[in-house]
Amino acid sequence: MSQRIYAAIDVGGTKLAAGLVRDDGELLRRVELPTPVRGTADEVLAALAELLDALAAEPMWAQASGVGVGSAGPLDPQRGTVSPVNIPAWRDFPLVAQITAHPAVAERSLPVELTGDASAMAAGEHWRGAARGYDQALCLVVSTGVGAGLILDGRLRTGPSGNAGHLGHISIETDGEDCPCGSLGCVETLASGPSITRWSLRQGWRPGAIPPAGSDPAEFTSHVTAADIAASAVSGNQIAIAAFERAGRALAVGIAATAALLDLQVAVIGGGVSKAGPLLFDPLRRHLKRYASLSYTQDIAVMPAACDDAGLIGAAAALAIGGTG
Ligand SMILES: [Zn+2]
């Protein structure tokens, strides 16, 4: 008996990936290329076309029933356009139209479904990862920014604009730091990787190595990442520990608010900053007990993301279990 197969594409600022995913969520084939971030719009598209060519050369391509596309935002799913922050050549780029026009897709008139990367991750975690079996789930991606996607009543919900779940830009400090989104005191200004680094440096944290003589200290510290702060926290640095405490608390406030609004059962945390493990999860869970005070919010589970390759599997999941809007 032949099984249904979904083609999946994951557009990120670091890599472009494509795969074939079986209808039980198993990733059967995977190919990737580095994203030509300094390339022209056509060069980025050519890299994507090369990945689609590789998938279309697989015999099981014949069973593909659609193409799920997860992309870094901002994006407009109704117009099928994307403007990924880290791919400057693509601004209002007609990604859906371009994929639809790829010969292997056009020849079979395959539907193409575009989903934001955080929503795709939520769909992937619900299908194959930590949110499996839960009807009300919030899935966060804590990395350069703080993205999130929502599973409500067992379905992925992205809203009419495709952007529902943007927890990173909920303001939790009414007189807080300016946020690139235009608001201030957003969750992202306290919990993203760059905000953890920025705050640590402001508090006087410095990298272990001594800046080479004559080097610009600002340049020296510009390469610091949240992973450096995490390593420093593990070795007992109090500023670094406090930075993760602060980030965990901000996430707890955001999750508690979402739980109160939406009667959540689980919050799943993925993204690079979540790799800090207990450094982030311990304060997050501790503060959540304090902020999630209503009876129906007190038992919310907080779990690390568990779906390998959630970007690709999620893009296929959005197509498979869909229900966008
Ligand atoms: Zn914001």
pLDDT recorded at residue 322: 62
Distance (Å) from CA 31 to ligand 1 centroid: 34
Helix (H) or strand (E) holding 314: helix 310-320
The confidence band for 323, taking pLDDT boundaries of 50, 70 and 90, is very low
Q: How far is the CA of 168 from the centre of ligand 1 (A)?
A: 6
What are the residues whose beta carbons fall under 8 Å from the beta carbon of 231, sequence distance 6 or more?
none
Alpha carbon of 142 to ligand 1 centroid (Å):
14
Residue 164 alpha carbon to ligand 1 centre in Å: 14
Report CA(163)–ligand 1 centroid distance (Å).
14
| Confidence band for 213, pLDDT divided at 50, 70 and 90 | low
Helices 226-234 & 238-262 angle (0-180, nearest 10): 110
Give me ligand 1 centre to Cα 144, in Å.
13
Mean pLDDT of 35-64: 95
196: CA distance to ligand 1 center in Å?
Answer: 15
The three-state (H, E, C) secondary structure of 206-235, written as one string: CCCCCCCCCCCHHHHHCCCCHHHHHHHHHC
Buried/exposed code over 21-52 (b: 16+ C-beta within 10 A; e: otherwise): bbeebebebbbbbebbeebeeeebbebbbebb
**Could you tell me the distance, in angstroms and rounded to a whole number, from the CA of residue 9 to the centre of ligand 1?**
27
Strands (E), 5-101: 5-11, 15-22, 27-34, 64-71, 75-76, 81-82
193 CA from centroid of ligand 1 (Å): 14
Q: Which two tokens stand for residue 123?
A: 């769909």
- Distance between Cα 307 and ligand 1 center (Å): 27
DSSP labels for 137-204?
EEEEEESSSEEEEEEETTEEE--TTS-TT-GGGSB--TT--B-TTS-BSBTHHHHSHHHHHHHHHHTT
* Cβ 192 vs Cβ 180: under 8 Å: no
Whose structure tokens read 């304090």?
290
Distances (CA, A) of 259 to 91, 93, 172, 245: 34, 35, 15, 21
Say if CB 298 and CB 56 are below 8 A apart. Answer: no
* pLDDT tens digit sequence for 168-199: 999 999 999 999 889 999 999 999 999 999 99
Tell me, in angstroms, the distance from the centre of ligand 1 to residue 94's CA: 26
Q: How far is CA 222 from CA 5, 149, 197, 211, 239, in A?
A: 44, 30, 9, 12, 18
- What's the pLDDT at 214? 67
Residue type, 41: A
Sign of CA dihedral 161, 5, 117, 252: positive
How many angstroms does the Cα of residue 202 sit away from the middle of ligand 1? Answer: 20
pLDDT at residue 325, as a whole number? 37
Contact 75, 12 (CB under 8 A): no
Q: What pLDDT shows up at residue 215?
A: 65
Query: Residue 159 pLDDT more than 70?
Result: yes
What is the pLDDT, as a whole number, of residue 216?
Answer: 65
Beta bridge partners of 270: 141
Chain position carrying tokens 């919990």: 191
Percent residues over pLDDT 90 in the chain: 80
pLDDT at position 212 is 60
Q: What's the 275 CA to ligand 1 centre distance in angstroms?
A: 23
Residue 73 confidence (pLDDT): 84
Considering the entire predicted model, what is its pTM? Answer: 0.89
169 alpha carbon – ligand 1 mean position (Å) = 4
* 86, 72 contact by CB (below 8 A): yes
Sign of the C-alpha dihedral, residues 180, 181, 182, 185?
A: negative
Q: What is the per-residue pLDDT across 234-254, written as a single tens digit (0 to 9) for each?
A: 999 999 999 999 999 999 999
Structure tokens at 78: 């109704």
Residue from 282, 283, 209 nearest 250 by CA: 283
- The CA radius of gyration of the chain, in Å to the nearest whole number, is 20
